[in-house]
């Protein structure tokens, strides 16, 4: 028995809901990568405001990691989840939903670190609209990511209970 019988208590089947959710997640991950690129450009413009080059380097490396996480890892995970839902492959949908959940937790830690260090070093980046939007954007996406994880695991349970194993239809 699956956690949910239908996608988010609506009339859409889990498989169709997973397909639509992963397409939406793919677009949001690309937009988030662009948002972090914008933040990177803003930090590069303020490079003279840092007290030490080590702190500036740590923030820049962290921003590069966030761009890579969303520009590469999350997009690949979304594509594989879509293919898994499309091809009735329960394992890929479930595994990559866990990858997305871990990526969300890593991103939370990065955002907290960025907020503390940039407020300390740049005296005011956290009060700017960019950082406030970044926190709100993360909160909305974290809720969506948890929704995607629950949907993917429900799809996994539903497909395995119906006998769909890797490659069998």
Convert the pLDDT of each residue in 110-157 to its tens digit: 888 877 776 766 666 556 677 778 888 888 888 888 877 777 777 777
Q: How far apart are CA 24 and CA 38, in angstroms?
A: 21
Taking the CB of residue 132, how many other CB atoms lie within 10 A of it? 11
82, 23 Cβ separation under 8 angstroms:
yes
Q: How far apart are CA 18 and CA 151, in angstroms?
A: 7
| Predicted local distance difference test score (pLDDT) of residue 6 | 52
The owner of tokens 């030490």 is 52
39, 63 Cβ separation under 8 angstroms:
yes
Instruction: Mark the ranges of the chain whose per-residue pLDDT is less than 70.
Output: 1-12, 49-50, 90, 118, 120-128, 164-169
């Amino acid at each position: 028995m699956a956690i949910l019988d239908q996608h988010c208590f609506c009339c859409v089947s889990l498989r169709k809901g997973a397909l639509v959710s992963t397409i939406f997640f793919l677009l949001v991950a690309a937009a988030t990568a662009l948002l972090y690129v914008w933040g990177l450009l803003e930090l590069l413009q303020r490079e003279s405001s840092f007290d030490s080059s080590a702190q500036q380097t740590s923030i820049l490396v962290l921003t590069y990691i966030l761009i890579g996480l969303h520009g590469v890892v999350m997009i690949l995970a979304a594509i594989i989840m879509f293919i898994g839902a499309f091809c009735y492959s329960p394992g890929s949908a479930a595994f990559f939903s866990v990858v997305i959940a871990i990526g969300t937790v890593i991103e939370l830690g990065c955002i907290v670190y960025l907020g503390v260090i940039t407020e300390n070093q740049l005296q005011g980046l956290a009060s700017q609209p960019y950082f406030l939007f970044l926190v709100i954007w993360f909160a909305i996406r974290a809720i969506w990511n948890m929704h995607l994880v629950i949907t993917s695991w429900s799809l996994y349970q539903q497909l395995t209970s119906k006998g769909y194993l890797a490659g069998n239809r």
